[in-house]
Amino acid sequence: MSNTAKIIIVLTLITMISGGILALLDNYTKPRIEAHKVEVKNAAVDEVLPPNDRVEKIEKGEYQFYVAYKGNDIIAIAFKAFGGGFQSKLVLMVGITPDFTKITSVKMLEQVETPGLGTKIEYDPANKENPAWFTDQFKNLKTQPEITYIKNVKPTKNTEIQAITGATISSKAVVVILNEHIAKAKAAWESN
């Protein structure tokens, strides 16, 4: 048997063993990862909705709505919104009033933006008083006519947020995602 054949056989065996180990690890970790994602989603739903008596999950169109009730009255609705950021997919949980005119809160579920810049859309360690200042701007923010962002100055309108200096693209991406998905979610919610 030639050296080339021996090398091919050894590499094939190593590849098969490595692939088998990876498959076993995937089978072991996949349920745990999925369970963790469900926990994170449930925590985000609780965080973006105001205090309530119960939450019901309702599917309409492409959305899963988490509807918060006080007694028999709907007080808020939560749903996932997603889109492209500067260098990653952004996934947010959005809480909104039943008429879709005011955001109750926003929680970032997934993002892999530029460390130290774009990641400030979720947590800004430089802001010691309020590291979540960016997402906190969306609390009680009006959605009509649409959400806008401004740079380097404090917002003056009830539909404006301040973009993160050095991470304008990530800030703008969050605004675009919210405007797009609020309109789509409202249409889905109001459909039969």
Listed in sequence order, the residues at least 6 apart from 37 whose beta carbon sits closer than 8 Å to its beta carbon are none
Q: Is the distance from CB of 51 to CB of 95 less than 8 angstroms?
A: no
Phi/psi at 147 (nearest 5 deg)?
Answer: -80, 140
Per residue in 20-65, pLDDT (tens digit) is 999 999 999 999 999 998 899 999 999 999 999 999 999 998 999 9
Amino acid letter, 127: N
Half-sphere CA count of 156, side-chain side, radius 13 A = 3
Query: To the nearest whole percent, how much of the chain has pLDDT over 90?
Result: 73
Residue 145 preceded by cis peptide, ω within 30: yes
Is the pLDDT at 68 greater than 80, yes or no?
yes
Is the pLDDT at 67 greater than 80, yes or no?
yes
Q: What is the pLDDT of residue 90?
A: 93
Cβ atoms within 10 A of the Cβ of 157, count?
11
Mean pLDDT of 61-71: 95
135: its two tokens: 């997402």
What DSSP designation does 142 have?
Answer: B
Element spanning 69, H or E: strand 63-70
Q: What share of the chain is helix, strand, coil (3-state, %, to 5)?
A: 40, 25, 35
Is the pLDDT at 189 greater than 90, yes or no?
yes
Q: What is the pLDDT of residue 160?
A: 92
Question: 41 in helix, strand or coil?
Answer: helix
